[in-house]
A and B are shown apart, each in its own frame.
Chain A
Amino acid sequence: MTTPLATRGALVPRLAALSKVVELGPGRLDKKILSDAGTLLLRAGDRLKLSSDHTVVALAGGTGSGKSSLFNAVSGLELSPTGVRRPTTARTHACVWGLEGAAPLLDWLQIQWRHRFSRSSALDKGESQLHGLILLDLPDHDSIRALTDPEADRLIGLADLVVWVLDPQKYADAATHRRYVAELAGHDSGTVFALNQVDKLAPEELAELVIDLNDLLRREGVSQPTVVTTSAVTGRGIDSLKSVLADAVTRRRAAVQRLESDLDRLVRRLDPPGEAPASVDAARRVGLTDALCDAVGVPAVGEALENVHAERSAAYVGWPVTRLVSALRPDPLKALRLDDLREEIQGLADGAVTAQPAEVENAVQALADGLSVDMQPSWKAAVQHAARSRSGQLPQALSEELEEVAPRLGFVPGWWRAVQVWQYLLVAAFLLGFIWIVASLTGIPTGISLVEDPASLPWVGIAMASVLGLGALSSVAARNFVVLGASKERERLELEMRRRVGMVAEGMVVEPVERELARHHEFAQAMHTLRR
């Protein structure tokens, strides 16, 4: 991760993005990371609110490394008690160069009043470059006392700049490196290493040790370690340490830099949220509607409509004579003594439309799966949850919505009846002709001269044949009309059903999913800003 010039201006949008992440994160991010992020936000907010003219520098290190001696050497006063008993310092001491405005900062750091000291400006004529420095002498972090006292840990977390005070005996301790240095690796600006007690070493030993220390730090990921060799006893190196501190103080960027690097470290722990479309595209909507239509059985309903209409219309528009002939055939149901079943079977086809719950679930699941395939697991789960938030009611809702348009399979259109009347009329005409002929041939007196006229017989015969032909013809025509009408009706029905299914899906599936997708999108954007 590149660290461009650390400025407040660059930090603030990232912090805003972090707060967005924290806001959207619950349930999507690891609880620990989330709470760490919250802590960092609070700390950043506090620190940026407090004096930006001051730089908090903490002297940290193992017990006996000489933090207090170094503290006294830098401040030029015997402020922090030093000693040979280990551990010596149990409470943090602070020395402030330039007290004005520092009090709230010291309060925030929770430094006790009696442990605060200040270098008045009169005293440090030559130290104006240290103006704005708050130097903290921390308790150790590695003694048995520190196991129960998080003071050092807390302040190492809060300081703008940490000076690790190492000594020749303990410079490679796991307690320092594993817990802090390796953890802080990647941001070199916020850390300085002071190799103290060098008076105990011969020059060639010192050279060897410095090389070894540098190697060690590099192995841990500190690419350009700032190592200052000091001795509180002889005063060696104190000035170089001071100038390193002065540099940090005058640049006034340590606080922001520290926050930046903490932010970077936090971001490295965050999993990318994964890729996902920001909304449900048209193709997916159509896919969902198709799948739901299948669950309802829209095509099957249409087919049933056609078939049932064709079958039932026969009773009305069919040529009664053919029907009469087929009715005379023996009925298998009757043979089984199941006559009443016919009625029931007729009743079965009532045109009810329902949705199959399992298929509805699978359809919704498929949509969620398709959308969340590249998402991070927690987000994936969230999208699926959103998709299914109402899928329990979905089959019911679909059934209700489609009830209005369900095909009325038992419905008999008026023209069917008209055709029926026409057919019966034709039959009546045929019968009339039949009687006519019989009467004319048998000579039964009818009183109608025309009937008795044998010359009319051929004409009657012709008329009867035409009636028969007309009946058959109109039956065929009517059947065709029925099929035509049914297929039109089917088309209309299917379109209407699709529209309604789409509407229900939009409201009960797509909308909640899109809300979650928007949330994800927002989150991903915030993450992007955070990462830069």
Chain B
Amino acid sequence: MNTAADRTGGAAMDNEHPESPGEQTLNIRAVADGADGEVEENGSERDEPGDEAAVGEGASSGAPDAEEADAGDVDEGLGDSSGDAEPSDEPSGDSSEEFSDEPQVLDEAVPSAAEPDADADVVSAADVAHAADAVPAAAEAQLPDEAVQQLTAALGQLRESVSDLRFGLDLPGAEEARKARAELLAQLEDYVLPRVKVSTAPAMIVVAGSTGAGKSTLVNTLAEKNISRTGVRRPTTGTPVLACHPGDLPWFAEGDLLGGLKRLDKPSVEAGPDSIVLTATEKLPQGVALLDTPDIDSVVEEHHEIAHRMMDAADLWIFVTTATRYADAPAWQLLRLARERGVRLAIVLSRVQPRSRDTVLKHFVRMLTEYGLGDVERFVVEESKVSDGRLPDSEMTDLRLWLAELSVDGERRAQAVRQTLNGVLDSFRTRIPELARHMEGHVAFRGELRTDVEAAYMGAVTRIEESARNGSLLRGEVLARWQDFAGSGDLLRTVQLRGRPPKQLPERLMAFKAALRIGLESLIVSAASKASEEVAARWRRRSELGSTLVTGLERPSEDLVRRTNRAVSAWQEHVMELIRTEGVAKRSVSKVVSFDADALSLIFMVGLFGGQTDGVPQRLVKALLGAESLRGISLKSLSDLRARISMLFDEEAMRYVKVLDSAGIPDESAAARLYQATYNLEVAR
């Protein structure tokens, strides 16, 4: 019975070919490679390779069961003439139209020729699958419960890992990553998870395309009901509208598919971006639902997002473009996406002027073929008077037929659904690692910035130690005060013979102490200031983002001077305390002399920073306290100073770390978890 239809097509084609040799090669390439030899001989055979390729893809990825594959084959064989004949015939239709007087020879003729047969097919297909109602049961059997559970678990894990991701830093590509993450999450929740659980639900067909392409008009016409607003204003549709058979309505109303969206009865102005309008119409066949979406390319950018979310959740795509738009860049971006995702796609070229139909179609087909989409099902709608938001019904015949077939032929539908689902799951193989790489980039970037901070403050500590060691601290006022202290005899007066009370040392000592404190303070402050500048410079050099983050942190914190003052004073007190408590004079010394601990601690500090090992201060202190004791005090006071400086600098460095942390980047394991989840998903499939 299919041969009848094919012969018609084949005969028509055979007649046309000699007239357009150029077209011929094009068509053959589009449909099946290496089949040109057979074309002339047998039209029906010519169809086979293309179909098998399509079916084979669906079966191999979707149904590991041998039984299932068989069922598919049987089905395919039977359903061949009506459904699959169409796409493969269409290219030849284009070619024929190019030169024929009557433009609609094949586009219209083939389906109408096949129409009577289609009904017959329906019966036979139903027979094989034990009646149309039983089709879902057959599809369900493909994925045993256990497998479904595993897959659901793997997907759940994946969803969690994805939702854990945060791209807090505005690195190049972060905006895209954020979007990709949101898309992935929405697709998992709206589509993949519900679809895996119930793979038998009615197929959702999204109608997507440019603004003004006539998506709403198409849906209205197919539904024979004005369910979506049409008009001259662009963009027209802002809220997606889902039309389905009344029997499917409960499923869409309560199901998990697009579960995050609010269901509405009719479009309303205040409907937010997270809502969807549900309508039932008898005119649509059961098992297929049409989803009218906002545009993908108007000035209203929220529309693009909604449209993409809808497309992510759909089982099949009908892509609508027009004769003026078919070369638009956004349209081809969408087609590329469809190709990447392996989505089941049908293309509607609408608003075609009858007189330019051939040229436009030919050109469009060539572009599609170059793009690797030459064998996609295509429908042409001519520019005609739109009345009451609908096109003349005559333009819809073949599309309607296509829908009817999908509705009736459960296996075919299930295949389409599976193909898209598999395509989406396949796309995870690239999309998720990409996201993970981004995450790693984020983590690495944060790590680099943290290293910068650490390195800068390490450098600062080293600088201070260097200055403390090489005697540069003993310059300026400190030196002058030391000279004063030594030259005025105060130094000698520090040590007194035993029995005489140590002289109360004058304010000169206080001035000397203050000078030492200020010298040390300014050394620390200058090192901290250099470190903060270095951090700023390093971050700036890293990237644009680094300079944004470091804004306001180029200088040390305001209370650094105060805190340093406190730290150094405390250290001086600590050293005095050390000298007082641990600096017990040698017995032989203490018999004869006594000393002033405060003054001695200053002399000790000069010795500590003096840069020499056997200067006057060292010798004096050593003579009084003994080498052992001096060493102990030196070590203790130096390590105390180091600890105080580290504490100061830790607080300084904290400011940068805080900025980084406030961006909220998860730890390194997030990316690893993502990889693991992807792997688990592959195992579960």
Binding site for B on A (CB under 8 A): 62-65, 83-87, 142-147, 167-175, 177-178, 201, 205-206, 208-209, 212, 216, 220, 294-297, 299-301, 303-304, 307-308, 310-312, 330, 332-333, 335-338, 341-342, 344-346, 348-359, 361-362, 365, 369, 377, 395, 409
Contact = CB atoms under 8 A, between A and B. Distances in A.
Contact of A144 (B329, B488, B508, B523): B329
A98 B283 CA distance: 63
Contacts of B143: none
B511 interface: yes
Given A304-B484, A332-B592, A86 B327 contact: yes
A178 B299 contact: yes
Contacts of A346: 487
A132 B112 CA distance: 60
What interface size band does chain B fall in?
35 or more
Interface in B501-522: 508, 511, 515, 518-519, 522
B324 A64 contact: yes
Given A345-B486, A355-B475, A377 B551 contact: yes
B480 A304 contact: yes
23 contacts: A63-B325, A85-B359, A86-B323, A86-B328, A143-B327, A144-B329, A172-B298, A173-B299, A174-B301, A175-B328, A175-B330, A205-B232, A216-B299, A294-B477, A296-B477, A300-B481, A300-B511, A345-B616, A351-B483, A352-B483, A356-B476, A358-B527, A377-B551
Interface of B: 210-213, 231-235, 297-301, 304, 322-330, 332, 351, 353, 356, 359-360, 363, 467, 472-473, 475-484, 486-489, 491-492, 495-497, 508, 511, 515, 518-519, 522-523, 525-527, 529-530, 551, 554-555, 589, 592-593, 616, 619-620, 623-624
A170 to B, nearest CB: 6
Given A86-B327, A336-B592, 14 more contacts: A63-B325, A85-B360, A87-B327, A143-B328, A172-B234, A173-B210, A174-B330, A208-B233, A336-B623, A338-B620, A352-B483, A359-B519, A365-B529, A369-B555
A9 B304 CA distance: 47
B232 A356 contact: no
B593 A345 contact: no
Nearest to B367: A144
* Closest 5 A/B residue pairs (Cβ): A349-B487, A297-B477, A64-B324, A356-B476, A300-B480
A361 B486 CA distance: 28
A303 to B, nearest CB: 6
Given A170-B212, A173-B211, A307-B487, A357 B298 contact: no
Given A297-B515, A356-B477, A62 B328 contact: yes
Contacts of A307: 484, 487-488, 508
Nearest to B303: A174
B561 to A, nearest CB: 9
B306 to A, nearest CB: 14
Contacts of A62: 328
Which of A144, A145, A206 gathers most chain B CB within 10 Å? A144
Contact of A169 (B234, B299, B329, B508): B234
A408 B172 CA distance: 65
A245 B381 CA distance: 38
A482 B595 CA distance: 31
Given A63-B324, A335-B497, A348-B487, A297 B529 contact: no
Nearest to A87: B327
A362 B560 CA distance: 13
A426 to B, nearest CB: 25
Given A172-B235, A173-B299, A86 B324 contact: yes
Contact of A358 (B351, B483, B522, B619): B522
Contacts, number: 240
Contacts of B515: 297, 300
A358 B325 contact: no
A175 B232 contact: no
A297 B232 contact: no
A489 B525 CA distance: 34
Which of B213, B526, B554 gathers most chain A CB within 10 Å? B526
A349 B481 contact: no
Contacts of B231: 208
Contacts of A216: 299
B331 to A, nearest CB: 8
A308 B519 CA distance: 23
B212 A304 contact: no
Nearest to B490: A307
A212 B483 CA distance: 87
Which of B353, B518, B624 gathers most chain A CB within 10 Å? B518
Contact of B592 (A63, A296, A335, A345): A335
A145 B327 contact: yes
A358 B525 contact: yes
A409 B480 CA distance: 11
A344 B610 CA distance: 15
Nearest to B351: A169
B488 A311 contact: yes
Given A349-B487, A352-B479, A342 B326 contact: no
B329 A146 contact: yes
A25 B624 CA distance: 65
Nearest to B594: A332
B328 A142 contact: yes
B522 A356 contact: yes
A77 B235 CA distance: 35
A297 B476 contact: yes
Nearest to B489: A311
Contact of A356 (B330, B478, B483, B511): B478
B232 A201 contact: yes
A365 B325 CA distance: 62
Contacts of A300: 477, 480-481, 484, 511, 515
Contacts of B359: 83-85
Nearest to A363: B522
Contacts of A201: 232
A178 B301 CA distance: 10
B476 A170 contact: no
B234 to A, nearest CB: 4
Nearest to B481: A300
B633 to A, nearest CB: 18
B525 A336 contact: no
Given A209-B233, A333-B495, A359-B476, A348 B623 contact: no
A332 B496 contact: yes
Nearest to B494: A332
B616 A341 contact: yes
Contact of B299 (A84, A172, A337, A409): A172
A87 B529 CA distance: 60
B487 A84 contact: no
A173 B323 CA distance: 16
A95 B162 CA distance: 57
A353 B478 CA distance: 10
Nearest to B479: A354
Given A172-B298, A173-B299, A358 B484 contact: no
Given A173-B299, A332-B496, A362 B525 contact: yes
A405 to B, nearest CB: 14
A234 to B, nearest CB: 16
B492 A342 contact: yes
A147 B329 contact: yes
B327 A336 contact: no
Contacts of A63: 324-325, 327-328
Contact of A173 (B298, B522, B624): B298
Contacts of A358: 467, 473, 519, 522-523, 525-527
Contacts of B479: 297, 352-354
Contacts of A209: 232-233
A58 to B, nearest CB: 20
A169 B497 contact: no
Which of B213, B486, B523 gathers most chain A CB within 10 Å? B486
A144 to B, nearest CB: 5
B322 A297 contact: no
